[in-house]
Amino acid sequence: MSENNPSLFESVLQSREQEKQPFVQKNLVAIPVIEAAQVSLAPDFREEQGILARWKAKQMDRKSALAVLETRYAGHLEVVKHNVLEQVKVAKTQISITAEELLNELDVKHLEIMSQLGMRNMAIRQKMVADASEQTVAAIRDVEAKDWPDQLKMDVITKAIDLKEKFVNKIMAEADFGPQG
């Protein structure tokens, strides 16, 4: 682009660097600049903490808590899938990086809650879930490198994340839990 007519992206960068203001003036309309650190795409686990607290207070049995947590995990995975698919439409690059960050954060939080519910063999389960995430991210990385239409990329990514969900559900279904606390 010419110096007289910078793109919106270039003008935002110039404005942020020179003025350090939270807004960019573009045709007399203030456009807020959202920093990447301000926006978290990761799922919120406050409800899971509430379920865990109810279980600890003996207001809910472990089987019911696990059923609710499995449903919540599936919902969180849908959020991750949506965010990754949006990256296909918008960013077209670094899709696998976004997927890896979101999946890892989701898995760490989910396994932490499962541990608090008394799940045994945590090291083995963590390794299995991490391997599933790595395979999912590898598939997304392969798709990212392909010169395919966005819809085909989104379909393959959706299938990869769905496969990871099935695998994690199987791991959790076979999990050994200690006696009710």
Query: How does pLDDT run across 107-160, given as a tens digit for each residue?
Result: 999 999 999 988 888 899 999 999 999 999 999 999 988 889 989 999 999 999
The pLDDT tens digits for 50-97 are 999 999 999 999 999 999 999 999 999 999 999 899 888 887 668 899
Q: Where are the domains of the chain?
A: 8-37, 42-173
The pLDDT tens digits for 32-53 are 433 443 345 667 788 899 999 9
| The two structure tokens encoding residue 144 | 């990212």
Judge whether residue 161 has pLDDT over 90. Answer: yes
Burial of 161 (0-12, 13-18, 19+ CB in 10 A): buried
What sign for the dihedral angle of Cα 12, 17, 22, 26? negative
Residue 38: CB atoms within 10 Å: 8
If residue 66 lies in a helix (H) or strand (E), which one and from where to where? helix 62-90
